Amino acid sequence: MAAPEQISSLQNPRLKRLVRLRDRRARDEEGVFLIEGYREIRRALEKGVRLQELHFAPAWFLGENEPALLATAEAAGARLCELGKEAFAKVAYRERPDGLLAVATQWKRTLDDLVLPASPLLLVVEGIEKPGNLGTLLRGADAAGCHAVIVCDPVTDIFNPNVVRASTGVLFGVPLVVAESPAVHAWLRPRGIRIAATTPAAERRYTEADLRGPLAVVMGSEQYGLSEFWLQHADLPVRIPMAGQADSLNVAMAAIITLFEAVRQRTGG
Amino acid sequence: MAAPEQISSLQNPRLKRLVRLRDRRARDEEGVFLIEGYREIRRALEKGVRLQELHFAPAWFLGENEPALLATAEAAGARLCELGKEAFAKVAYRERPDGLLAVATQWKRTLDDLVLPASPLLLVVEGIEKPGNLGTLLRGADAAGCHAVIVCDPVTDIFNPNVVRASTGVLFGVPLVVAESPAVHAWLRPRGIRIAATTPAAERRYTEADLRGPLAVVMGSEQYGLSEFWLQHADLPVRIPMAGQADSLNVAMAAIITLFEAVRQRTGG
């Protein structure tokens, strides 16, 4: 690999920019986002995410595979930039950095970009506020084999560093579309995709509904639950029976329970 | 209520002690733990947790119900101690404090303290490292109506402030026992409680096993999964079918999926 640039001064404008990219406005202005950590960067490369820059600090490396990752990134077009230990600590987002921080190109998928099988399973989430929850929802959708995740009216943006981290790289694999709720509904309807929505007000348990066939599981925001819009348009309003405290299940847990029941039914379990 | 003590100096030994109680050793020496936040403290009081002290800073209060909570706590025997805004910021554990921090008495339950129905559903977790995961596991167990949670060989202690927070107060409600794995197994066996353990190596899906009757769902640690001990003693080794990345499901998600399948089967869903 070519001799990388090296930066050690904490006043360097490039370091300042990396810190600025934690803010959504700075990310969106440049059309980029941050990916920190060996595992996440490796997955981004595997999934064809375009890395513009890969900042690295050998003083923080945890393993022996980092040079190979750097070589792969450089071969894929990333500019390598070496940082000193202190400089990297300044730009690292994680509490325990591992010496790898990439700047990647944002992408945008629309509903029409989605290529779905005849009987798709989709997760639709509405107004999610916490990046950690969005990341966990992505993981749950990935584990359940969802063909796409549609993020409606997001409060947090999908390129937030905490979404990247909490999704453990699933963000790079699961087809993900950001859209407004009415547009999503207008897209689902003619495709015959039924809408299952969990709400405490539903009479039917989620296990009593037929979750086979083309299905979108819709989950509402942490604080307000599903909006009137989705409640009114739900073909299958269902409830998850709850013992214990009313708020013991958060949105990610409720989504995982519902998605895996759909998987059970669809695989004849 | 009586006029509370007031502290504002940051050098006050009482403040220093509150900060020290974030460390397990200091907690265990005193036999106490910290509960921060309105919701958690209210739940602790509801569940009969003994509050020794309730530190409060009106400058941080978010609502209007705090005086009533203080009165309830004092009536239940807690000593009230008012703090200035800066002093509270120093002792607060949360990023966004709400001006309430209690020191509560630790408790200890043994396996023999558990009072179970004829056909109990238990969650047994082994070697959990992350407090957040332990808290989420407790929430999942509460939502599924588990009759007890048994924490084997914990790496994190159940009175860690992050467990208290992540459990959203479930810690105070679900019967919880800490014990060593062999003792737990020796206690389950004569009671006819079957052991279901999720492992990728199992042939049978979790949806194909009969999860009715007396059942303990055993989950392993984040990093190592289930130990040989529990794998060997599992009556029902089962696997959760996984699409996507191998690590998309974490221990809390796997537990919730398995527990809610048990609930489905047990309620004829």
Q: List the domains of chain A with CATH numbers.
A: 5-105 (3.30.1330.30), 111-266 (3.40.1280.10)
**pLDDT, mean of residues B239-249:** 88
Cβ-Cβ contacts under 8 Å for A115 (sequence gap 6 or more): none
pLDDT at B269 over 60: no
For residue A123, the model assigns a pLDDT of 98
**Interface of chain A toward chain B, CB-CB under 8 angstroms:** 43, 136, 139-140, 142-145, 168-170, 173-174, 205, 207-208, 240-245, 247-250, 252-253, 256-257, 260-261, 263-264, 267, 269
* Residue B1 CB-density burial (10 A; 0-12 exposed, 13-18 middle, 19+ buried): exposed
Assign A156 a pLDDT band (cuts: 50, 70, 90): confident
Query: Is residue A114 helix, strand or coil?
Result: coil
At B3, the pLDDT band (50, 70, 90 cuts) reads low
pLDDT of A226 strictly over 80: yes
- Kindly tell me if the per-residue pLDDT of B6 is higher than 90: no
Express each pLDDT in A165-194 by its tens digit.
999 989 999 999 999 999 999 999 999 999
pLDDT in tens, B74-89: 999 999 999 999 999 9
Bridge partner residues of A54 (DSSP):
A80, A102
**Inter-chain contact B248–A142, Cβ cutoff 8 Å?**
yes
Q: What is the pLDDT of residues B125-154, one digit of tens each?
A: 999 999 999 999 999 999 999 999 999 988
Average pLDDT for B225-243: 95
Tokens 């070697």 belong to B127
**Considering only alpha carbons, which residue of chain A is nearest residue B167?**
A248
Phi-psi region of A244 (alpha: psi -120 to 50; beta: other; left: phi over 0): left
Complex ipTM value: 0.90
pLDDT for A10 equals 67
Helix (H), strand (E), coil (C) string for A32-51: EEEEECHHHHHHHHHCCCCE
Chain A residues in contact with B174 by the CB 8 A cut-off are 244
pLDDT digits (tens, 9 = 90+) for A247-268: 888 999 999 999 999 999 999 8
State the pLDDT confidence band at A200, using cuts at 50, 70 and 90: confident
CA A178/CA A27 separation, integer angstroms: 16
List of E strands, A89-226: 100-105, 121-126, 148-152, 176-179, 194-198, 215-219
Q: Give the pLDDT of residue B268.
A: 81
- Tell me: pLDDT of B111 over 80: yes
Residue-wise pLDDT for B40-65, tens only, equals: 999 999 999 999 999 999 999 999 99
* Structure-block tokens of residue A209: 């509904």
Q: For A32-48, write each residue's pLDDT tens digit.
A: 999 999 999 999 999 99
Residues of A in contact with B248 (CB under 8 A): 139-140, 142-143, 168, 170
Q: In chain B, what percentage of residues exceed pLDDT 70? A: 97
**pLDDT beyond 80 at A215:** yes
At A246, is the pLDDT very low, low, confident or very high (cuts 50, 70, 90)?
Answer: confident
pLDDT score at B222: 85
Give the minimum alpha-carbon distance from A193 to chain B in angstroms, rounded to a whole number: 21
Residue with tokens 């995740």: A149
